[in-house]
Structure 1
């Protein structure tokens, strides 16, 4: 599973880079879209989040609070060790409230199928590479491929960044650039659901 996810991540990264048409490299050696000085929906991380930059994505999310359901789901799907790996990864992290807003029974159904539907949904929230808020400032209308293999469409309207999933659902990025040792977390107000 871990090798498959890593191979998928590498392939997805190549597709993201070619789709975005960028040759720039990040600190970690992964390519990302052209950057801009604007940082849509950027929020300054709190002192605890800044200190968490010395932790991996999973530990950073747990320390930030508000991601208990996500942490439980990652553990159930066996993805904790993967997201503690080298990366870099960009994770769009739904809050506990976002999971609560799912239709009744949806979360229970996902948790009942950890290696199937749950893994599909969780890997749909991960993009290979470290993509900071400034990277998406000029990406309005562009698609990025997730580790899941499905695409997300980015919407940029002033300081508001949205992600539209292949099911037609739209979520808003509410906080950005929570850095971790192996990538970055952006907080979203909904759960992304792949069509497939």
Structure 2
């Protein structure tokens, strides 16, 4: 069952509360996030977002366009060690717990599954998420998509943490 409720937040962000009767991974597959789904599967992280039980998470889901814009600076998956780079990047997009936009505060900090921190900024351009020390910031473009195992916020950039090698290590 799909239900949409439209609200306006203080930061001029149109918030779409969508309630899905499916896990996060299925919502991604059904809604055109093919690059993210493929990478999650290859990195062995798809099942983390697939189950209805266990922990609830918040996923900051980059669009296919977001991955396309950073692909020249990331290693080919066929290169040795590149899968570890992608695992680190993907873990940087998942936070334990459910955090709807109406509960986020400017300056709030979350620890992603990979152990890195994500900083929330709220201003006139919207809600932004930045990995600690990074110049890469993702703007939430679609928010509060409630799946049976967590919450999805769509971001317009891939959240690449500071210090992450963008090329695969040599063998």
Give the alignment's TM-score, normalised by structure 2. 0.79
Q: Which residue of 1 aligns with 2:15?
A: 43
Residue 172 (1) aligns with residue 144 (2): no
1:87 Cα offset (Å) = 2.3
Q: Which residue of 1 aligns with 2:169?
A: none
Q: Which residue of 2 aligns with 1:90?
A: 58
Larger helix fraction of residues: 1
Q: Which residue of 2 aligns with 1:69?
A: 35
Change (3 A) 1:107 1:131: farther
Q: Distance in 2 between matches of 1:149 and 1:39?
A: 30
Is contact 2:107-2:119 (8 Å) kept?
yes
1:62 Cα offset (Å) = 1.3
Count of aligned residue pairs for this structure pair:
152
Q: Distance in 2 between matches of 1:106 and 1:152?
A: 20
Q: What residue ranges of structure 2 are gaps of 5+ in the alignment?
A: 1-7, 164-171
Q: 1:56 aligns with which of 23, 43, 50?
A: 23
Q: 2:86 aligns with which of 118, 125, 131?
A: 118
Q: What residue ranges of structure 1 are gaps of 5+ in the alignment?
A: 1-36
Residue 128 (1) aligns with residue 96 (2): yes
Q: Which residue of 2 aligns with 1:150?
A: 116
Segment drifting more, 147-156 vs 114-123: 114-123
Q: Which runs of 4+ in 1 moved over 6 A?
A: none
1:115 Cα offset (Å) = 4.7
1:145 Cα offset (Å) = 0.8
Give the alignment's TM-score, normalised by structure 1. 0.70
Change (3 A) 1:105 1:162: closer
1:125 Cα offset (Å) = 0.1
